[in-house]
Amino acid sequence: MSHPAETLQLLAPDGRLVEDERTERYRPVVESLDESLLQRFHRTMSVIRAFDIEAGNLQRQGQLALWIPSLGQEAAQVGSGYAARAQDHIFPAYREHAVGHIRGLDVVQIIAMLRGLSHGGWVPEEVGNFHLYTLVIGSQTLHATGYAMGVQFDGLVGTGDAERDTAVLVYFGDGATSQGDVNEAFVFAQSYQTPQVFFLQNNHWAISVPVSVQSRTPLYRRPEGFGIPSIQLDGNDVLASYAVTRERLDAARAGEGPQFIEALTYRMGAHTTSDDPTKYRTADEVEHWRQRDPIARFETYLRGRGASEQFFADVAAEAADFAADARRRTLELTPPPAESMFAHVYSEPHPVMQAQAEWLRSYEASFEGEGA
Amino acid sequence: MTDTLGTSAAVGRAVDATGVEGATPAAATPASVITGGGVRTLPMAKALNAGLAAAMAADEKVVLLGEDIGPLGGVFRVTENLQRDFGPRRVLDTPLAESGIVGAAIGLAMRGYRPVVEIQFDGFIFPAFDQITTQLAKLTARHEGSLSLPVVIRVPYGGHIGAVEHHQESPEAYFAHTAGLRLVSPATPHDAYWMIQEAIASDDPVMFFEPKSRYWPKGEVNLDASGAPLHASRVVRTGTDVTVVGHGAMVSMLLDAAALAEEEGTSIEVLDLRSLSPIDYGPILDSVRRTGRLVVAQEAPGSVSIGSEIAATVSEKAFFSLEAPVIRVSGFDTPFPPAKLEGAYLPDVDRILDGVDRALSY
């Protein structure tokens, strides 16, 4: 459960910068981060945590069918999310609420999915190229690879133009590494040298199955067998997540082929609100990770840099407002009309969709005037 | 049955040719991609090759992905010389992973490409079943219409070629059951030529089932033909006593059966479905309302199949026109047997005529 020696860490759990030979190459990046970006890291982690807790509350109050908590994984997501450039494309799994928020997705659209009102439905190009959630584990890795093949065919790799060169960042979890599709994505990415970063959030649990059942080797060592450069980092260290993801995205955009990051983190909550983690893991283990909380660690760091009490109070207020606003707007969400289910099954007109939509309309119309 | 023997021999030739062609440097191979217009006599494999070439020439976003489709030209040579003429960026020999191929094609389509995937054989499509049915078929709805996925999946299918297990199957019903996909299957070289181009032009995912026992028999192809509606069935032969419908390789067999029946005084109307999803019921219902009898023939097992669906729908929509129950003539509900038994498994002219006799017995 503790981090092995090979795990890259730029910010230690006590909030101090780690300064050794390994971290040296990342120091210029860390030093280049201005105070406002550092504060934004903290603000985003805090806001998303508040939102996440509120969404869980909404589920418990019967307002959502399900919630998928991301609590504890904020640093992995926020660091990597801010590392991507505007033109990059992001393929999430289904727990990357913070990344979506960073890219401009209204998180209430995630809520709408879990309230049973949509299957996603946002337009990736309108929300920072943040693609839809994919619930079948690992399927999105292949879409990301195919997308990255297209980026390469479009001539947007290795031109040296930082505003044009494009990479694809794909998220998945430790359970997904056992899926055939994920391994096929590694193969295809390597075959076509795609401009792509595989970002594994190893939160140690695939619902109830520990990562030790998924793999006998550290997961970051698997991509080496595919010929993909790989690194393991402390996923509760937002600076490491940011600096390494930025470096690897730069490499991918420059034409160095696919890259792999394993971020070691921990799912502090349940897999979803339907899960009961007390049945399969110990309170001691959870406590161990609570001591490594990503937000508390970064707060200590910022305080060490002189962030004011007022700043933290403002962030707390903003987080509370954000969560309250999400709650208010959640309660305003209403189901779409029934006939919408027929509308977009196909892009072009389809006789079966038309006939069944028409049948449903006339069936429902047959009840008009009855009862009331 | 002569058809079966003929195509089996053709398979032998194709396989024998593999080593020779593989050893020939691509650049030295004489041009065999059909270009230009006019009416040519071509086998379906060549007609498809010409259709793919035309689609690729018309739209640079069209890219081909598959196993062995580059220098080899595919195991059935449908993509022969296309990599030579359009380059390795347009014709991709992929790693050997069907789910990977379809998943990558989805990503390419998200990026604005129009991928055409070749699945090497019918029975090899199932590793890609998840990507096809849970991703490709559903992503447009999941995006509430903001994303189109113009992906074509070419599937050589069907028996009568004497091949080993997993190489002779007819899996179309699995996919016809899945909303979000379109399924078509040409029966003639000419239809193959224009239908593949229409499939590529469609903004929806299209599964393009190619009857591989019909890859080699030749037919006239009008290379100037502009596309007809992709999902329109057609009356191939008019008749008055019984309507028979089928798709793909079954159509030529239905015509053979109709010719034999005519000698015995039975007039059979033959319809080629062309489209399996959606099914174009208009011509079928028109025909059944005239003949009062319907036989549906297919190589696939009969239970829960295309034929079952047609029987149910015709029973609903033309019940008072029917003089007899709808008869299904199909493969048995068994795994596809070893090749030496395929003659007993697959419908042939005699089984079709038996079905016609049963329909006429009411």
CATH number for the domain harbouring residue A45: 3.40.50.970
HSE, side-chain direction, 13 A CA sphere, residue A168: 31
- Closest Cβ–Cβ partner in B103, B149, B203 for A142: B103
Other CB atoms within 10 Å distance of the CB of residue A256: 15
* Terminal Cα-to-Cα distance of chain A (whole angstroms): 61
Tokens of B54: 């035309």
CB A195 within 8 A of CB A148: yes
Q: pLDDT value at position A369?
A: 81
The CATH number of residue B318's host domain is: 3.40.50.920
Looking at the fold, whether A345 and A238 belong to one and the same domain comes out as no
Looking at the fold, whether B168 and B262 belong to one and the same domain comes out as no
Q: pLDDT value at position B69?
A: 98
Do residue B140 and residue A346 have CB atoms under 8 angstroms apart? Answer: yes
Name residue B93's beta-bridge partners: B66
Its domain, for residue B254, covers 234-360
Looking at the fold, whether B277 and B311 belong to one and the same domain comes out as yes
A3 inside domain: no
A2 inside domain: no
pLDDT along chain B (362 residues), means of 10: 34 33 36 76 97 97 98 97 97 98 98 98 97 98 97 98 95 98 98 97 98 98 88 97 98 98 97 98 98 98 98 98 98 97 97 98 96
Total tally of structural domains belonging to chain B: 2
Tokens of B291: 């003949």
Looking at the fold, whether B245 and B328 belong to one and the same domain comes out as yes
Comparing alpha-carbon positions, the chain A residue that sits nearest to B95 is A188
Looking at the fold, whether B240 and B102 belong to one and the same domain comes out as no
A64 inside domain: yes
Q: pLDDT value at position A157?
A: 98
CB B137 within 8 A of CB B179: yes
Looking at the fold, whether A363 and A242 belong to one and the same domain comes out as no
Q: What is the Cα–Cα distance from B225 to A51, expressed in whole angstroms?
A: 59
Tokens of A233: 């980092």
For residue B79, the one-letter residue type is T
Looking at the fold, whether A257 and A355 belong to one and the same domain comes out as no
What distance separates the 2 farthest-apart alpha carbons in chain B? Answer: 64
Looking at the fold, whether A317 and A368 belong to one and the same domain comes out as no
Over the range A331-353, which residues count as b (16 or more CB within 10 Å of their CB) and which as e? eebeeeeeeeebebbbbeebeeb
Looking at the fold, whether A326 and A349 belong to one and the same domain comes out as no
Total tally of structural domains belonging to chain A: 2
- Pairing, β B294-301 against β B242-246: parallel
B341 inside domain: yes
Q: What is the Cα–Cα distance from A153 to A168, expressed in whole angstroms?
A: 14
Q: pLDDT value at position A2?
A: 54
Q: What is the Cα–Cα distance from A114 to A66, expressed in whole angstroms?
A: 5
Contacts of A342-345 with C-beta under 8 Å, sequence gap 24+, read A343/B144, A343/B145, A344/B140, A344/B141, A344/B143, A344/B144, A344/B145, A345/B140, A345/B141, A345/B179, A345/B180
Looking at the fold, whether A313 and A164 belong to one and the same domain comes out as yes
Looking at the fold, whether B165 and B264 belong to one and the same domain comes out as no
Looking at the fold, whether A40 and A173 belong to one and the same domain comes out as yes
Over the range B318-350, which residues count as b (16 or more CB within 10 Å of their CB) and which as e? beebbebebbbbbbeeeebbebeebeebbbbbe
Looking at the fold, whether B14 and B157 belong to one and the same domain comes out as yes
Q: Which of A236, A233, A173, A237 is nearest to A205 (CA)?
A: A173
HSE, side-chain direction, 13 A CA sphere, residue A29: 20
Do residue A121 and residue B113 have CB atoms under 8 angstroms apart? Answer: no
Its domain, for residue A355, covers 337-372
Q: What is the Cα–Cα distance from B238 to B197, expressed in whole angstroms?
A: 28
**Cα→Cα distances A139→A54, A132, A179, A218, B135, Å:** 29, 12, 9, 22, 8
Contacts for A14 with CB less than 8 Å, ≥ 6 apart: A297, A300
Per-residue pLDDT tens, chain A, 372 aa: give them: 456 678 999 999 999 999 999 999 999 999 999 999 999 999 999 999 999 999 999 999 999 999 999 999 999 999 999 999 999 999 999 999 999 999 999 999 999 999 999 999 999 999 999 999 999 999 999 999 999 999 999 999 999 999 999 999 999 999 999 999 999 999 999 999 999 999 999 999 999 999 999 999 999 999 999 999 999 999 999 999 999 999 999 999 999 999 999 999 999 999 999 999 999 999 999 999 999 999 999 999 999 999 999 999 999 999 999 999 999 999 999 999 999 999 999 999 999 999 999 999 999 999 988 765
A370 inside domain: yes
Tokens of B232: 């329109």
Looking at the fold, whether B51 and B197 belong to one and the same domain comes out as yes
Q: Does B177 touch chain A (CB under 8 A)?
A: no
A277 inside domain: yes
Do residue A143 and residue B106 have CB atoms under 8 angstroms apart? Answer: yes
Comparing alpha-carbon positions, the chain A residue that sits nearest to B99 is A181
Looking at the fold, whether B241 and B317 belong to one and the same domain comes out as yes
Looking at the fold, whether A343 and A209 belong to one and the same domain comes out as no
**Which strands make up the sheet holding B242-246, listed edge to edge?**
B234-237, B268-272, B242-246, B294-301, B327-331
Looking at the fold, whether A187 and A76 belong to one and the same domain comes out as yes
Distance between B281 CA and the closest CA of chain A, angstroms: 10
CB B155 within 8 A of CB B210: yes
- Domain limit, last residue, from B170, B199, B222: B222
Instruction: Give the total residue count for chain A.
Output: 372
Q: Which helix (H) or strand (E) holds A230?
A: strand A230-234
A306 inside domain: yes
Q: Is the peptide bond before B95 cis (omega within 30 degrees of 0)?
A: no
- Domain limit, last residue, from B222, B256, B289: B222
B228 inside domain: no
Looking at the fold, whether B212 and B262 belong to one and the same domain comes out as no
Looking at the fold, whether B38 and B170 belong to one and the same domain comes out as yes
Interface predicted TM-score of the whole assembly (ipTM), two decimals: 0.97
B29 inside domain: yes
Instruction: Give the total residue count for chain B.
Output: 362
Residue B167 known to be catalytic:
yes
Looking at the fold, whether A321 and A370 belong to one and the same domain comes out as no
Q: What is the Cα–Cα distance from B44 to B265, expressed in whole angstroms?
A: 32
- Domain limit, last residue, from B202, B222, B242: B222
Q: pLDDT value at position B15?
A: 32
Looking at the fold, whether B194 and B340 belong to one and the same domain comes out as no
A16 inside domain: no
B227 inside domain: no
- Which residues 51-110 on chain B approach chain A with CB closer than 8 angstroms? 63, 89, 92, 94-95, 97, 99-100, 102-110
Looking at the fold, whether A161 and A259 belong to one and the same domain comes out as yes
Burial of B27 (0-12, 13-18, 19+ CB in 10 A): exposed
CB B53 within 8 A of CB B80: no
Tokens of B25: 């440097």
Looking at the fold, whether B195 and B254 belong to one and the same domain comes out as no
Looking at the fold, whether A347 and A289 belong to one and the same domain comes out as no
Residues of chain A whose beta carbon is less than 8 angstroms from a beta carbon of chain B are 118-121, 123, 131-132, 134, 136, 139, 141-151, 153-154, 180-181, 184-185, 187-188, 191-192, 343-348, 350-352
Comparing alpha-carbon positions, the chain B residue that sits nearest to A155 is B89
User: Residue B139: what are its φ and ψ, rounded to 5°?
Assistant: -70, -30
A4 inside domain: no
Residues on chain B touching A348 (C-beta within 8 angstroms): 202-204
- Pairing, β B275-277 against β B182-184: antiparallel
The CATH number of residue B44's host domain is: 3.40.50.970
